[in-house]
Amino acid sequence: MDIPSISDTLAKNAAAAQANASSSGSALGDLADTYDNFLTLLTKQLQNQDPLSPMDTAQFTQQLVAFSSVEQQIQSNKRLEQLIDLQSSTNAYAAVSFIGTDVAVDTDKIMLNDGESKFAYTLDKTATRATLQIYDKNNQVVMIMEADRTVGEHKALWDGTDYFGNQLADGEYRVAVSYEDAQGKKYTAPITSYGSVDSADIVDGKVYLNIGSIRVPLEKIQKITKPSSDA
């Protein structure tokens, strides 16, 4: 009966275990089965080897080292998966604490809620002209007004009416403020949106806060405050 080469079999199985190392549970089981098969095969070959031409042990010793290396990688991946799961659980607990808080967010998206929306824009230079525009979800301009031309942060309160005076429906809108300096150079002002967090999501271990339909990652939050309770 022909017995397969140890080095060829071991190299093939070690490569398969390496390829499957991303799934630590199944990969570790596959590696253990392969290792047991290898020991059985090694024993058979040692029993049936030609005494005058003994096997070269260098090759399968190197493959044993490769097996050990793959096993360590699988174990490392397993520990990493456990750390990721732990971090996700920690993030889930943290996300709950944001619900009900008022936040300032680095985004040009705003929520119109009960006919009111608060936001701010910041000018880095004194402007000769400045225009504020509000867009609906279809990217149609619904309001155009003159913006403050002085340097600094300017807070704004929009009552939800369009440029014809019609009351618009609550929901998500977008703000854009453009301005020019004395040399005619054009700029776009960064926008800060204000709102209340009503829910939170964990996606791939990352926390997202929802202000109505606006979803923002945690790193976009500039300020968090708890609403004052009436005595």
pLDDT tens digits, one per residue of 3-24 = 455 455 555 555 555 555 445 5
pLDDT at 1: 45
pLDDT at 107: 96
pLDDT at 84: 57
Q: How far is CA 166 from CA 57, 112, 176, 177, 220, in A?
A: 87, 14, 20, 22, 32
All structural domains of the chain with their residue ranges: 6-98, 102-225
> 98 falls in which pLDDT band (50, 70, 90)?
confident
Which of these CATH numbers, 1.20.1250.20, 3.40.50.300, 2.60.40.4070, 1.10.10.10, describes 102-225? 2.60.40.4070
pLDDT at 91: 60
Residue 60 pLDDT > 90: no
pLDDT tens digits, one per residue of 62-92 = 666 666 676 677 667 777 766 655 555 566 6
pLDDT tens digits, one per residue of 158-169 = 999 999 999 999
Among 124, 119, 117, 122, which Cα is nearest to 108's? Answer: 119
Name the pTM for this structure: 0.61
Question: Which is higher by pLDDT, 8 or 97?
Answer: 97
Residue 227 pLDDT > 70: yes
